[in-house]
Amino acid sequence: MSTRIIELKRSVFESNDERADLLRGELKDKGIFLLNLMSSPGSGKTTTLKATIAALKDKYKIGVMEADIDSDVDTLKIAETGVKAIQLHTGGMCHLDADMTRQGLDALIEGDVDLAILENVGNLVCPAEFDTGASKNAMILSVPEGHDKPLKYPLMFSICDVVLINKIDVAPYFDFDLEKCKEYIHMRNPKAEIIPICAKTGEGVDKFAEWLSAQVEAWKA
């Protein structure tokens, strides 16, 4: 299988916030919803996306941008679902800003897409600092990472509209306190939606698909 790989250029614009608002406005006008999905490395972003695509691909024309410093392993996995997937290489950079996101979107929406998803670089710090222009921000925290992460990475939790707690199937093997985790997340962000899932088995993914679908409909209204 061949992968389309875009080598992103470093942005030349000074104000990322302005560029992000501009991009968001353009996407709104075109009726394209953009979800920015973030997490630590290995929290299950790609597996969650595959399950979410399966739930929503008859309803929306989905396109996925896989951002990584190197490799195209995730794009190959997403391409198996039949939706359009492109690989973005950040050239070592730890995050995507609005202009880098636009470079990917330009390639992605040559096809017909109304739900675009950006799988950001695996990193709980830097991606939170740069508005990508997304309609909504989502993040995944997986059970093996521990319930104390909202204490250590405050910004990431405070900017996300929804937090998926993944790998709940292995909870018995880890000291993970779901109630404490929810409490810490809401300390950072009282409005965050929290959805426990197991992307591997599909448990809870219907709830996330429902949430995402409601956001897309509200965006297009």
Binding piece for its own copies, criterion CB under 8 A, among 22-30, 48-56, 106-114, 124-132: 124-132
Smallest CA-to-CA distance from 140 within 85, 90, 208 is with: 208
Nearer to its own copies, 174 or 211 (CB): 174
Q: Which of 25, 41, 91, 111 binds its own copies (CB under 8 A)?
A: 41
Q: Beta 84-89 vs 162-166: how paired, if at all?
A: unpaired
Neighbours of 79 (CB within 10 A): 20
Determine which residue in the list 18, 80, 129, 210 makes contact with its own copies, applying CB under 8 A: 129
In DSSP terms, 141 is beta-bridged to 165
Q: Considering the rule CB under 8 A, would residue 122 count as an interface residue with its own copies?
A: yes
Min. distance of Cβ 83 from its own copies in angstroms?
21
If binding is defined by CB under 8 A, does position 144 make contact with its own copies? yes
Query: Residues 70, 80, 110, 183: which binds its own copies (CB under 8 A)?
Result: 70
- CA distances to 66, 71, 80, 82, 151 from 74, in Å: 7, 8, 10, 14, 29
* Nearest Cα residue to 44 out of 128, 142, 137: 142
In this chain, which of 92, 112, 179, 190 binds its own copies, going by CB under 8 A?
92
Helix axes 98-108, 16-30, angle to 10 degrees: 30
Residue 10, amino acid: R
By rule CB under 8 A, what string of x and - marks binding of each residue 153-192 to its own copies?
A: xxx-----------x-xx--xx------------------
52 contributes a contact to its own copies by CB under 8 A: no
Q: Which of 99, 131, 145, 161 binds its own copies (CB under 8 A)?
A: 145
Number of amino acids touching its own copies (CB under 8 A): 33
Three-state DSSP class for residue 36: strand
How big is the chain, counted in residues? 221
Cβ atoms of 48 and 150 closer than 8 Å: no
Where are the alpha helices (H) located in 57-190, listed in sequence order? 73-79, 98-108, 149-152, 154-159, 178-188
Residue 131 sits in the site that holds its own copies (CB under 8 A): no
Q: Which residues bind its own copies (CB under 8 A)?
A: 40-42, 68-71, 73, 92, 94, 121-126, 129, 142, 144-146, 148-149, 151-155, 167, 169-170, 173-174
